Amino acid sequence: MSVFVYTPNPDTDTNSGRLFQQVIEHLQSNWPGTLLLSACTSIPKDVSPSRSLDWVCLDDDPSGSDLAGFLAEMFRVRAFVFVGPESIGFLNSIESDYSSPRILLTEEAGSPGSNVAEHVLATKQVADWQRLLDDLLVESVPVELFCGPDNLAAEVVGMLSRHPHGDQARQVVVNWAGAADQRLGRVLAALSETSHASFLADLFLAEMFDVPRGWLTPSVADVFLHPRAWQQLGSFVRLLLTAPGRVEFCVSSDSPRAWVRAGVQVINSSLTLFGRGVK
Q: In whole numbers, what is the pLDDT of the chain averaged over residues?
A: 84
> Mean of the pLDDT values across residues 23-39?
92
pLDDT at residue 173, as a whole number: 96
CA-based torsion, 208, 211, 216, 221: positive or negative: negative
DSSP, collapsed to helix, strand or coil, labels residue 251 as: strand
> Mean of the pLDDT values across residues 177-195?
93
- Determine the residue type at 9: N
Q: How far apart are CA 26 and CA 133, in angstroms?
A: 10
Q: How far apart are CA 218 and CA 223, in angstroms?
A: 7
For Cα atoms 61, 66, 69, give the angle at the middle one, nearest 5 degrees: 130
Q: Which of 33-37, 82-86, 102-106 shows the highest mean pLDDT?
A: 33-37
In the predicted model, is pLDDT for residue 82 greater than 80? yes
- Determine the residue type at 207: E
Residue, of 111 and 275, whose pLDDT is higher: 275
Its pTM stands at 0.84
pLDDT above 70 covers a percentage of the chain that reads 89
Confidence band of 66 (pLDDT split at 50, 70, 90): confident
pLDDT in tens, 153-179: 999 999 999 999 999 999 999 999 988
pLDDT at residue 102, as a whole number: 87
CA terminus-to-terminus distance, the chain? 15
- Which alpha helices (DSSP H) does 46-180 contain, by range? 62-74, 88-93, 129-137, 153-162
pLDDT at residue 235, as a whole number: 85
Confidence band of 184 (pLDDT split at 50, 70, 90): very high
Count CB neighbours of 188 within 10 A: 23
Confidence band of 195 (pLDDT split at 50, 70, 90): very high
Q: How far apart are CA 248 and CA 276, in angstroms?
A: 5
Confidence band of 84 (pLDDT split at 50, 70, 90): confident
pLDDT at residue 88, as a whole number: 83
pLDDT in tens, 208-249: 877 666 554 455 655 666 677 778 788 888 899 998 889 999
